[in-house]
Structure 1
Amino acid sequence: MVDLRSGEWLDDNRANWDDRVPVHVASEMYDRGVLRSGGSQLDPIAAAGIARLFPDGLEGKRVLHLQCHFGSDSLSLVNLGATVVGIDFSEPAIEEARRMAAELGVADRARFIQANLYDARHMLPEPESFDLVFTTWGTIGWLPDVSEWAGIVAWFLKPGAPLYFADGHPTAWMFDYEGEPSPDAGLPRVRFPYSVEGPDVLEDPSDYADSAVAIAHARTWEWTHPLSETMRALRDAGLRIEEFEEHFRLPWRIFPAVVPLGDGMYGWPDTKWIPLGVELVARSSR
């Protein structure tokens, strides 16, 4: 059994994400000019999801953003009216999130905590205190235990409040390229099983936001979580799944074969070969 609060997996993944922070801060993908102008950087899928959940806006709403990276989406939610607490395990990421909140003049409505997600209840002992738990894009694949994750989500939600979750589709993670892929390499091939016990320990220095960069701490530990496992974990934690949708687009270039669709999104050029993203809303049934 994996120790959820310490160990090689956590050290390696944290070092990898620490290295990514300056790369992402400097990248065009994370250009925060929109934040500085008072706007939102939420991708179209998440933006539409939040609008559906809160048609009257986020004014007066308290949001917990799990695995918030350096807070671009957290601060987007603040610009939309919310008060946000963001949690991430990377110290450089949290430092940058706090710096940006101060620059924008919203530090009174944006609190950032550096912590392993599995320590969230100890770092933020405020059960049933949030109107929304928000977590999107590249999150649970870094976590060894989604049952504990779901329990943490449920612990923080007010009775009847929702979780908004969007991430890469677990089917998409089965595919990759042999050798060095290029834009004309064609479709990816099945390389990984849909469900596997234990982590994939990978040595990959590439970064999705800047293809020219090599990450120094290249080793990561990643876990495959089939949809049934994730949805069962949420149900067992006392959440009721209210919305579920599969998407054929993502806010990053997952494969060389996908093409820009506009608004920072990428998808298949013609046939919808496999779903690339998954989105769900689960609501506290307390």
Structure 2
Amino acid sequence: MTESVDLRGGDWLDDNRRNWDERVPVHLASDFYDQEPLRRGEGVLDPIARAGIERLYPDGLDGVRVLHLQCHFGSDTLSLANRGASVIGLDFSRPAVEEARRMAAELGVADRAGFVEANVYDARHVLPEPGSFDLVFTTWGTIGWLPDVAEWARIVAWYLKPGGRLYFADGHPAAFVFDGDGGPGGLPGFAFPYAEPDAIEFDDPSDYADRDARIEHATTWEWMHPLDEVMGALRDAGLSIDAFTEHYQVPWQIFPVTVPVGQGMFSWPVERWLPLSYELVASTPGV
């Protein structure tokens, strides 16, 4: 983490929030975020997260209390609610939270799916008491927007009850060192150091959900978080790493060369060059 970063505010947070505020209507209008399964009482969890949750809760989510950090406009949050969980989703984008609340009301699950507008680092000031949740859930494009993964891990641990678990899935940091199609045979080329400690500032008007969209507030700040940093932060926060799996698929077209392989997932066209994503389960000590 860059020492000068203020976790509670600053240019990084303002720029990222403006960017994500503007993405909300773009995403809602895109095919990428299809809400129809939610309206049918089903869910939109990607195959990796869906299988991960089913392994953790083979008997279903009835009675399970879930905190979903960085929930965007709550599609996955509402998917968990449709499975019977009682869920609180947190996101820093007001338009996203407003849409999440609207959709919860439309689906008739507002009694067990609430949404809070806040920066992750302000979670302790706006959410229930510590030890309130059976599961903290956070997936896909989350900690890369955060400068301090150690504080994130402490917040996760703060909210888990004894024996509670974290389910986490995201793009693999080894894949994030690459970008574009400038490598051999159209593969991505080296672009970023794996262990870069400082923010990487982008000025990119494109959007992963709609390739034709152009975002006016295009400046964003992102951080690389190597695997040892993430897992070390969780251990230092008092959690045990119970499961860790690398995957060669990811639920968006991470590089131009990656190809659709069904259920919204993308992978390498032939050789599995390196993992594109990973998931882990961590837990707090039991009673």
User: What is the TM-score when the length of structure 1 is the normalising length?
Assistant: 0.97
* Displacement after TM superposition at 1:73 (Å): 0.0
Q: Secondary structure at the match of 2:52?
A: helix
Amino acid in the other structure paired with 2:15: D
Instruction: Tell me which residue corresponds to 1:15.
Output: 18
* Displacement after TM superposition at 1:274 (Å): 1.2
* Displacement after TM superposition at 1:178 (Å): 6.2
| Distance in 1 (alpha carbons) for counterparts of 2:205 and 2:283 | 37
Instruction: Please list, as runs of the form range in 1=range in 2, the aligned pairs for 1:133-282 lying within 5 A after superposition.
Output: 133-177=136-180, 186-282=186-282
Q: Secondary structure at the match of 1:280?
A: strand
| Distance in 2 (alpha carbons) for counterparts of 1:281 and 1:177 | 31
Q: Which sections of structure 1, spanning at least 5 residues, go unmatched?
A: none
Instruction: Tell me which residue corresponds to 1:69.
Output: 72
| Distance in 1 (alpha carbons) for counterparts of 2:24 and 2:192 | 28
| Distance in 1 (alpha carbons) for counterparts of 2:128 and 2:51 | 31
What is the CA deviation profile of residues 213-234 of structure 1, one whole-angstrom value per residue up to 9, with x for unaligned ones?
A: 0111000000000000000000
| Distance in 2 (alpha carbons) for counterparts of 1:185 and 1:201 | 28
Instruction: Tell me which residue corresponds to 1:92.
Output: 95
* 2:32 equivalent to 1:42: no
Percent identity of the aligned residues? 67
Question: Does structure 1 conserve the Cα–Cα contact (< 8 Å) formed by 2:181 and 2:256?
Answer: no
| Distance in 1 (alpha carbons) for counterparts of 2:147 and 2:128 | 23
Amino acid in the other structure paired with 1:11: D
Q: Secondary structure at the match of 1:241?
A: strand
- Runs of 4+ residues deviating >4 angstroms: none
Give the paired residue count: 283
Amino acid in the other structure paired with 1:258: T
Instruction: Tell me which residue corresponds to 1:126.
Output: 129
Q: Secondary structure at the match of 1:30?
A: coil
* Displacement after TM superposition at 1:188 (Å): 0.5
| Distance in 1 (alpha carbons) for counterparts of 2:81 and 2:197 | 39
| Distance in 1 (alpha carbons) for counterparts of 2:277 and 2:171 | 4
Question: Does structure 2 conserve the Cα–Cα contact (< 8 Å) formed by 1:185 and 1:256?
Answer: no
* Displacement after TM superposition at 1:177 (Å): 2.0
Q: Secondary structure at the match of 1:113?
A: strand
* Displacement after TM superposition at 1:185 (Å): 6.8
| Distance in 2 (alpha carbons) for counterparts of 1:44 and 1:274 | 19
Q: Superposition RMSD on alpha carbons, in Å?
A: 1.3
Q: Secondary structure at the match of 1:23?
A: helix
User: What is the TM-score when the length of structure 2 is the normalising length?
Assistant: 0.97
* Displacement after TM superposition at 1:186 (Å): 1.4
Q: Secondary structure at the match of 1:50?
A: helix
* Displacement after TM superposition at 1:191 (Å): 1.2
* Displacement after TM superposition at 1:85 (Å): 0.1
| Distance in 2 (alpha carbons) for counterparts of 1:28 and 1:143 | 27
* Displacement after TM superposition at 1:125 (Å): 3.4
Instruction: Please list, as runs of the form range in 1=range in 2, the aligned pairs for 1:47-62 lying within 5 A after superposition.
Output: 47-62=50-65
